[in-house]
Structure 1
Amino acid sequence: MGVDIKIEHLTKSFGKQLIWGDVSLTVPAGEICVMLGPSGTGKSVLLKTLIGLLKPDEGSVIIEGTDLVSCSEKDLYEIRKLFGVLFQDGAMFGSMNLYDNVAFPLREHTKKSESQIRDIVMEKMDLVGLIGAEDKLPGEISGGMRKRAGLARALVLDPEIVLFDEPDSGLDPVRTAFLNQLIVDLNAQIDATFLIVTHDINTSRTVPDNIGLLYHKHLAMFGPREMLLSSEEPVVRQFLNAQRVGPIGMSEEKDADQLAAEKDMDLPPLPPIPLQLEPSNGIPRRSQRPPGEWCRTNGVTPPPGSFLPDSVLAGGVKA
C-alpha cells in the first residue's frame, strides 16, 4: 500500500524567477497521478522538491506525518527510502552492467546477502521484462531498455512512492504504449503511489487516476481524470486536447492581440474520453474507478463517444 503526499502552499523561486507559487494538492495513496504543463513550468522541479533535493521558499511536503521541508537530515534520509525514482534518461551507471545497476541501492542501503540481493534483483528485472539482459552495459541497449532497467532499480527497495520524470522521453509511440501498460501493471501489483511527469497526451488521457496541470506559475487544476478531460477551463481544455486555440502560445502565454483574435472562433468539440488502461490480467486496480463514475456523480455530460472501446470508435459507432 502506498502513502499519500500532502503538498501545502508550496512556492519555489530561483533568484527573482518564480517557478510556481502556492501549490497545494494531495497525491492519493496507491493511485496513479500525472502532472502536466508546458515546457519550463517546473514539473521536474516539483519532483526534486518532493524528494528533498530542492528546498522550497515556502510551504510543506508531508509524508507519513513528516514535513520534508523542515525535518532533520536524518529524518529526510529515512523518508527518502520510501521513494523510488525513474529519471528521464534512466540515469544508469555506465561502467556497471544492468544487474549491478539494479543491485546498487540494495548494497548501499541494506545488509542483505548477495544471494538475497540476487533474488530481489532478478525478481525486479523479471517484472520489467529484462531477464537475460542483466550482463549488458547501459551503452549496449536501447533507450527503452534503459528506461526499464531504471524502473527495476527504482522498485528494488519496494518503495511506497514511485516518481517518474518523463518516462516516455525519447521513446517512440510503440515503446511508450508498452511502458504505459507496464506502469499500470506495476501499480496493480505493488499498490504504490505513482506520480508521473509527462508531455505525452495519450499517456495523460489513458493511464492516470488523477491529472494535474501546472501553468503560468501556479497549479491550474488537479483532480480525477474525467474531471479534467471534460473540463471547459481554457488552459486545461487546450493542453489536454493539443489544440492551438487557447491561452498557451509558443512561449508560455499568448499576448492580448492573439487572444482577442481568437475570441469569436468556434472551439472544436471535446474529443471522447477514452477508457482508462486496465492491467493486462483484466482485474481492475484498487484505485481504478468505473468508466463515467465521476461524470455521473457530478452531473457532467461527457463528450459523445466517451468510454467506448477503441475498436467501436474506429468502426464509427457513436454514443
Structure 2
Amino acid sequence: MGVEICVEGLTKSFGSQVIWQDVSLTLPAGEISVMLGPSGTGKSVFLKTLVGLLRPDRGAINVAGRDITRLREHELYEVRRLFGVLFQDGALFGSMSLFDNIAFPLREHTRKPESEVRRIVLEKMDMVGLIGAEEKLPGEISGGMRKRAGLARALVLDPEIILFDEPDSGLDPVRVAYLNQLIVDLNAQTGATFLIVTHDIASARQVPDNIGLLFRRELVMFGPRKQLFASDEPVVEQFLGGRMQGPIGMAEEKDAAQVEQELAELDAGERRGPQGGKGATGAMGDTPRLLPGPGVPRSPRWEEIARREERSDRVVSGT
C-alpha cells in the first residue's frame, strides 16, 4: 500500500531565481494527486525535490516518517526505493530491448535470480499491455508504448509511491484516454500513492482524488478534485477553464489592473455554473470520476469512491 507524503514550508531557488516558496501539502496514502500549473512554474522541479534528486533551500519532506531533506546519501538511497518514477520521455535505453529496459532496476538493485527477474518483468509488462513486445527496441515502437514501458519499469520494484512527469506529453487524445485508464487501474491494483504532473485538464477532471495548482512561485490551492473545479479563485478558474482572461499571461504574469479589467469585462453568466454558483468550469467539474475497468481488482478505497461518484451522479441527474 502507499505511504503519505507530508510537505512543509518547501522553498526552492536556483541562484537568485525563486522557483516556488513555502509550499505545504499532504499527499494522502494510496490516493491519486495531480499537480497543475502554467509552463515554467516548477512542477518537474517539485517532483525531483520530492524524490531527493534536488535539495530544497528550506522546508521538510516527510516520507514514511523520515524527513528526506535531512538524510545522508546512503539513507536517502533507502527511502528512494519507495519511489517509482515515470519520466516525461520514458527515459528508456535505446540500445536495450523493452524486456531489458524493464528488468534494469531489478538487475541493478536486487540479487534476484534471472528466473525471478523474468517472472516479475513479464507480470509488469502484462499489467501495462506490452506482452509480445519484449524484444522490441524503443525506437521501433510508438510513443504510447514507450510510456507504458517506462511505467512498467517504474513498477518492477513494487514502489509505494509513483511519480509521473507529464505522462500525456506527446500523445494524442485517444492514447491519453487509454493511459488515464491504465493509471487508474494500476492505482486500484497496487494501492500506491500517485502524483502526476500534467497540463491536461481533461485528465485532471477524471483521474485524481486531489489537485494542486502552482502559480507565481506559490501553491495556490491543493484539495479534492471537485473542490478545485468549484473554486472562484481567479487563477484556478482561468487555468481550469482554459481562458485568456485572468492572471496568467502568454509569457509572464499580468499586472493586477489588467487582470481586474479583464475579469470585469467577462459576462457574469459566463462565470457562473449551472446552479448559479461562481466557477468558470461549470458542469465540467461534475465530470464523473474515472473508475477501474471491468475485472480490475479494487481496494476498499476504490469501492467507496465508486459509491460516492454514483451518489453524486444521481444528484446531478435528479434521479
TM norm. shorter chain > 0.5: yes
Aligned match of 1:151: 151
Q: In structure 2, do the counterparts of structure 1 residues 63 and 290 end up closer, same or farther at CA, with 3 Å as the change threshold? A: closer
Alignment partners' CA distance in 1, 2:298 and 2:258:
45
| Amino acid in the other structure paired with 1:233 | E
| Amino acid in the other structure paired with 2:49 | T
Aligned match of 1:301: none
8 A contact 2:246–2:263 mirrored in 1 = no
Aligned match of 1:55: 55
Q: Could you tell me how far 1:134 is from its partner in structure 2?
A: 0.7
Aligned match of 1:271: 282
8 A contact 2:205–2:225 mirrored in 1 = yes
Aligned match of 2:10: 10
Alignment partners' CA distance in 1, 2:129 and 2:298:
22
- 1:280 aligned to 284, 293, 296, which one? 293
Alignment partners' CA distance in 1, 2:23 and 2:195:
16
Aligned match of 1:300: none
Q: Could you tell me how far 1:257 is from its partner in structure 2?
A: 4.4
Q: Could you tell me how far 1:65 is from its partner in structure 2?
A: 1.3
Aligned match of 1:238: 238
Q: Could you tell me how far 1:72 is from its partner in structure 2?
A: 1.3
Q: Could you tell me how far 1:284 is from its partner in structure 2?
A: 5.9
Alignment partners' CA distance in 1, 2:181 and 2:294:
11
Alignment partners' CA distance in 2, 1:37 and 1:293:
28
8 A contact 2:247–2:256 mirrored in 1 = no
Q: In structure 2, do the counterparts of structure 1 residues 208 and 94 end up closer, same or farther at CA, with 3 Å as the change threshold? A: same
Alignment partners' CA distance in 2, 1:41 and 1:318:
40
Q: In structure 2, do the counterparts of structure 1 residues 308 and 140 end up closer, same or farther at CA, with 3 Å as the change threshold? A: farther
8 A contact 1:165–1:198 mirrored in 2 = yes
Alignment partners' CA distance in 2, 1:93 and 1:249:
38
Structure 1: which 5+ runs fail to align? Answer: 297-305
Alignment partners' CA distance in 1, 2:298 and 2:122:
26
Indicate the structure with greater helix content.
Answer: 2
Alignment partners' CA distance in 2, 1:290 and 1:127:
22
Q: In structure 2, do the counterparts of structure 1 residues 280 and 293 end up closer, same or farther at CA, with 3 Å as the change threshold? A: closer
Aligned match of 1:36: 36
8 A contact 1:35–1:197 mirrored in 2 = yes
Aligned match of 2:168: 168
Alignment partners' CA distance in 1, 2:36 and 2:243:
15
Alignment partners' CA distance in 2, 1:129 and 1:293:
29
Aligned pairs (5 A) from 1:120-139? 120-139=120-139
Deviates most, 129-138 or 64-73: 64-73
Q: In structure 2, do the counterparts of structure 1 residues 308 and 238 end up closer, same or farther at CA, with 3 Å as the change threshold? A: farther
Cα deviations by residue, 1:223-271 (Å, 9 ceiling, x for unpaired): 0111101111111111112122221111231224422421422252332
SS state at 2:70 partner: coil
| Amino acid in the other structure paired with 2:77 | Y
8 A contact 2:90–2:150 mirrored in 1 = yes
Pairing 1:109–2:109 present: yes
Aligned match of 2:275: none
| Amino acid in the other structure paired with 1:68 | I
SS state at 1:150 partner: helix
8 A contact 2:189–2:298 mirrored in 1 = no
Deviates most, 269-278 or 3-12: 269-278
Alignment partners' CA distance in 2, 1:275 and 1:199:
19
SS state at 2:136 partner: coil
Cα deviations by residue, 1:152-188 (Å, 9 ceiling, x for unpaired): 0000000000000000000000000000000000000
Q: In structure 2, do the counterparts of structure 1 residues 278 and 291 end up closer, same or farther at CA, with 3 Å as the change threshold? A: closer
Q: Could you tell me how far 1:292 is from its partner in structure 2?
A: 10
Alignment partners' CA distance in 1, 2:169 and 2:47:
16
Identity within the alignment, %: 65
Q: In structure 2, do the counterparts of structure 1 residues 204 and 196 end up closer, same or farther at CA, with 3 Å as the change threshold? A: same
Aligned match of 1:299: none
Alignment partners' CA distance in 2, 1:318 and 1:29:
33
Cα deviations by residue, 1:54-111 (Å, 9 ceiling, x for unpaired): 0000001111111111111111000000000000000000110000000000001111
Q: Could you tell me how far 1:7 is from its partner in structure 2?
A: 0.5
Pairing 1:192–2:203 present: no
